[in-house]
Structure formats: C-alpha cells, structure tokens
Amino acid sequence: MKVLHAAAELFPYVKVGGLADVMGALPQALSNEGVYVRLLLPAYPALMKVARIYGTHASYPDLMGGGSARLLLADVPGSVPIYLLDAPGYFNRDCGPYDEWGDNHRRFSALSWVTAQLALNGDAEGMRPDVVHLHDWQTALTPVFMSLSGSAHRPKTVLTIHNLAYQGVFPQYILDEIWLPHEAFHLNGAEYFGKINYLKAGLAYTDKITTVSPTYAREIQGKEGGYTLEGILQRRSKDLVGILNGVDELVWNPSKDPHLQTPFNIKNLKLNKGYNKKAFQREMGLNEDENAQLFGIVSRFDAIKGLDLVIPNIDYMVSLGAQLAVLGRGNYDMESAFSWAAGRHPGSVATFTGYDEGKAHRLMAASDVLLVPSRSEPCGLTQLYAMRYGALPVARKTGGLADTIVDVTSETLKDGTATGFLFFDPESWRLGEAITRAVSLYKNEPEIWEKIQTNAMAQHFTWTRSAKQYAKLYKSLLGQ
Ligand code: ADP
Ligand code: GLC
C-alpha cells in the first residue's frame, strides 16, 4: 500500500506547531506498519539546505502565476522520501511558512494542485499512490482538483483536520487565480458566505476525514466547536473519525534527551528532575529553589490557547510560593502581559518570548506542572510531552486534553489512573481552582504527587498505536 502525505510543516525543519511534529513522526510509524509512505512539501529554504535531490519528476513553466516550478524527489535526514515542490516564486522565503503573505491563496492552491497531479498521473518513474493523505487547509484543495479532473483512476483521499479554527478563507475574486474549476464553487463545496473556503472544499470532496482526537471529532460537529462548518461535518459524520496523536520517542524521551544536562527516568525521578529544575531556574533567572513548585507554559500565544485565563492568576500563584516559567510567542498583548508579570515578580515569574526547541525540553524536564488552559485543543502535544517528563498538566477538559489526561479525584487516586488536573468552564477562577488543587497536593501530599508523576510518565501515547489506526483506515478505503 502506497500512501502520499502532503503538508506544509515538517519537524525539525519548518515548524509552527504540532502539525510539524506529526509529520516528523507519523510517516515513519506508518512505514513500520508496512505502509510505503512518501511526503510532499514545499521546498522551503530550510529543507533545500539539507535535501539530497535524486531527480526532477515534473516541471511547470508557470505554476499559477508564480513562475517556473519543479517537483523534486529528495532525501531529507530523519524523513521518509520526500517530494519537494521547488517553486521559488512561492516558497523561497524565510520567515514563517504562512505568515500574512498576500499570495497564500495561490501558494497553497499550487501545492494542492501539484499534489493532485502527482496522485493522478504518478511520478516520472510511474510511482502512483493508492491513498493521498492531506493535512489542514494548506493541502485541502487536493481532493477537489482530483475529483474534478475527470480522471478515471482517482486514488482515495484522507483529509486530517489538525485545527478547525484555521480554514483558509479568501475572497471570491481569487477563484480565477487558483485554477480551481468553477463547478467547485457551490453551497456544498468551496463556497462559504460568498467567499472561498479551502478546508470546507476539501471536506466536501475527500473520501474520509480524520481529526486528532475522538472528543474533538465530536466537538466539531456541534455549534460551539464547529467554527461554522458543523453542518458539513455532521453530514459527513460516518466518514469522520478521531485518531489521537502520539509522542515521538526519538525526540521526547527524558532518559535520552540531548537537551538535558541530567537525563532522568522513573527510578531516579526525584533527584534528577530536581537537578533539571535548578538548572532551568538558573537559565531563566528564577530563584534557585528546588521546593518552589514550578509551573510552566510552552505555547503559541493565540486566543485559542486560553492563556488570558492565566494572567489574573499569576499574583495568586506567586502568593502561594509557586514559580511560573513561560515560553512562547505570538499575540503581542499576551507577550506584554507575561513580560509585565515577570517584571513585577522577579525571581518568581520568568518569560522567554520566542521559539526555542531546547528550552521547551528543559522546561518540561524542570516543571512540576504544565498549564494548558486551551479554549479549544484538537489534540495537544505539550501535555503528552509534559506527562512523559513528570510534569503534571493543569488543563481545560476539551478535545485531546480530555482524552489524554485523567483528572485527580478520590477515585482516580484510589485506582491509580490520575495523571493531571482538569477544569471545564473557560473562566480564570476555574483555572484558579485547578491550580489550588495542584498546589495543595504538591505541598501536603508529596508522596501522592510522586505517585501521580510516575503514573503520568508511564503513559505511552505511541505513534505505533495511531499508525495502526490510520493503516486500518487506508485499508478500509481500498476495500482490503
Ligand atoms: P499547536 O499545534 O496548536 O501549537 P500542540 O500542542 O499540538 O499545539 O503543539 C505545539 C508544539 O509546538 C509542541 O511541539 C511544542 O513543544 C511546540 N512549541 C510551542 N511553542 C513553542 C516555543 N515557544 N518554543 C519551542 N517549542 C514550542
Ligand atoms: C494543531 C492543534 C493541536 C494538535 C496539532 C497536531 O496545531 O492545535 O491540538 O496537537 O495540530 O495534530
């Protein structure tokens, strides 16, 4: 079974969020299950720098008005074989992959169109996938191009929603710029309140839809979680399934993590996690105090992440003797609010505004608690990494957070399943209550705290398990 995955991010080369982590791990896990996988990504500078190119599989004299382009096949360290869409006019840019460029509609329609051509016609060596697996709005037009091509041999398609909040919506007048057949522009297709919606179009034309947790698969079919697409998702309900993400053991393993001075495991947890805490407190300019409960945040600063719920709790946390370390970037108001808090509480609150992979690992290793108050969270990876590193999540009970964290209650303490602290209402005082529970357990019941930590560390959200579910889905599509 040959499967082509197309996406716009790949860890560790081009990363905005969790999608990159998924693309860095899932293809390999699928290969281990016997699925032959290739990737297709834009030839971003970071990828071209490390790529060993094998050949050119197609050339386009003018790709959607962006100049000449080629489809290359390459090897990139750590990845399965990868097709790179070398369209310098579109992708030879530094900065984020989809910052507010004015031509994003053409860049990602071009990516989808080329993916469709490869799927329908095969590459220069006659290699053609049986299934094409698309990720998010940036590749979502692929099934539309494939379905409307008139080709008798259309491979099957799977479209994964990593976050329904981002849909790729553009004004209608771009229709002629993106090579999309006009017949796609209808109420149950690309049309969206008089505009064009890439994700909606993909959802209408793809064979199967997946999203990254069972709870999110349910939430997006309701009014609140549906981001205006609940109608189409309800209609496609029997083709929609939630498959949880996993943890890449090669990247997130506290006993072998090259970013840590003192790797650790369940057996030496107390002592070695303590070393990591002190080292990180020093790195961040926090008071070096092993007994201070350290809360961490690693996040994009986006309204969806609910970090505004943390701000009103900071003074309270500090008054309880806790520390807070924040790693993130994005929304300017949020950046300022955390910096301001750090200024008010030197030694107790520290913030690093930016993206830093090593710091993220050290923060997980050092922290006692990771705050994940997301208003919505399709899967969430940081809580999985935190648990693996013995940091207990305090999180909102939504999406993948609800599916991966077991709230501390008298029952879950008794049966030994507790792994974190959940709250439901997206209110800062509700988060405050969950924080209070975490602080009181840490202070008053250190042995129970340690027991929950070891329990969290023993959770294995493996990519093997997810890959098996995807492989089953591909097989069902192929009638196997
Ligand atoms: P999302 O994809 O919505 O951002 P996830 O939890 O799925 O949420 O994935 C976030 C990923 O980005 C994780 O790998 C996390 O460690 C990483 N990350 C987020 N912010 C930063 C940062 N400032 N520095 C380093 N890594 C970060
Ligand atoms: C998205 C979601 C996140 C998920 C990630 C990978 O960015 O916001 O919850 O973990 O994709 O699927």
The domain limits of the chain are 2-246+463-477, 269-457
CATH superfamily name and code, 269-457: Glycogen Phosphorylase B; (3.40.50.2000)
- What is the token pair recorded at 18? 């969790």
pLDDT at 215: 98
What is the position in ligand 2's atom list of the atom closest to the CA of 216?
9
CA of residue 298 to ligand 1 center, whole Å: 6
Instruction: Give the pLDDT of residue 221.
Output: 98
How many Cβ atoms are within 10 Å of 444's Cβ, its own excluded?
9
Ligand 1 pocket by Cβ (under 6 Å)? 17-18, 21, 298-300, 327-329, 355-357, 360, 379-382
Would you put residue 278 in left (φ > 0), alpha (ψ -120 to 50) or beta?
alpha
Distances (CA, A) of 91 to 14, 23, 110, 186, 426: 12, 18, 11, 30, 38
Closest approach atom of ligand 2 to CA 19: 6
Nearest to 394 by CA among 367, 412, 415: 367
Mean residue pLDDT of the chain comes to: 97
Q: Give the pLDDT mean for 38-66.
A: 97
CA count, 13 A, side-chain hemisphere, 68: 4
Asked whether residue 58 carries a pLDDT value surpassing 90, the answer given is yes
Pocket probe for ligand 1: among 300, 331, 353, 389, the residue whose CB has the most ligand atoms within 8 Å is 300
pLDDT (mean) for 374-386: 98
User: Quick one: pLDDT at residue 328?
Assistant: 97
Q: How far is CA 190 from CA 108, 201, 204, 236, in A?
A: 15, 4, 8, 15
Model confidence pLDDT, tens digit, residues 178-194: 999 999 999 999 999 99
Q: In whole angstroms, how far apart are CA 221 and each of 19, 87, 189?
A: 22, 37, 17
- Alpha carbon 466 to chain centroid distance? 14
Evaluate: CB of 22 within 6 angstroms of ligand 2.
yes
Ligand 2 pocket check for 387: Cβ under 6 Å: no
pLDDT at 470 over 90: yes
Question: 2-246+463-477: what fold?
Answer: Rossmann fold (3.40.50)
Which residue of 26, 167, 210, 212 sits with most ligand 2 atoms within 8 Å of its CB, as the best mutation to test the pocket? 212
Residue 95: the pLDDT is: 73
Residue nearest (by alpha carbon) to ligand 1 atom 18: 299
Residue of the nearest CA to atom 12 in ligand 1? 17
Mean pLDDT of 378-399: 98
- Which residues contact residue 35 at a Cβ distance below 8 angstroms, ignoring those fewer than 6 apart? 1, 2, 3, 467, 470, 471, 474
Over its C-alpha atoms, the chain yields an Rg (Å, rounded) of 23
Q: What is the pLDDT of residues 253-266, one digit of tens each?
A: 999 999 999 999 99
Q: How many CA atoms lie within 13 A of 415 on its CB side?
A: 6
Ligand 2 within 6 A of CB of 372: no
Element (DSSP H or E) covering residue 61: none
First-to-last alpha carbon distance for the chain, in angstroms, is 10
Per-residue pLDDT of 68-110, as tens digits, reads 999 999 999 999 999 999 999 999 987 778 877 789 999 999 9
Give residue 201's pLDDT: 98
The number of beta carbons lying within 10 Å of the beta carbon of residue 267 is 10
Q: Which two tokens stand for residue 284?
A: 């961040």
- pLDDT at position 99 is 74
Q: What is the mean pLDDT of residues 208-216?
A: 98
* Rounded CA separation 121/108 (Å): 20
CA 44/CA 85 separation, integer angstroms: 9
Look at residue 94 in the predicted model and tell me its pLDDT.
79
pTM score > 0.85 for this model? Answer: yes
Q: What is the mean pLDDT of residues 30-57?
A: 97
Angle between helices 463-477 and 18-32 (to 10 degrees): 70
Q: How many CB atoms lie within 10 A of CB 67?
A: 13
The residue-averaged pLDDT of 15-43 equals 97
Task: Kindly state the average pLDDT of the residues 213-233.
Answer: 97
Q: Which two tokens stand for residue 315?
A: 């003074």
Average the pLDDT over 42-60 and give the result: 96
Same fold, 2-246+463-477 and 269-457: yes
| Contact (CB, 8 A) for 32 and 66 | no
> Residue range 232-259: average pLDDT?
98
pLDDT band at 229 (very low <50, low <70, confident <90, very high): very high
Residue to mutate, 23, 163, 244, 247, ligand 2, most ligand atoms under 8 Å from C-beta: 163
Q: Is 152 in contact with 200 (CB distance < 8 Å)?
A: no
Tokens of 242: 């939630």
- Token match 């305090």: residue? 394
Determine the pLDDT at residue 320: 97
Backbone angles phi, psi at 255, to 5 degrees: -85, -10
Q: What is the DSSP letter of 137?
A: G
Q: Is residue 58 a contact partner of residue 117, using CB atoms and an 8 Å limit?
A: yes
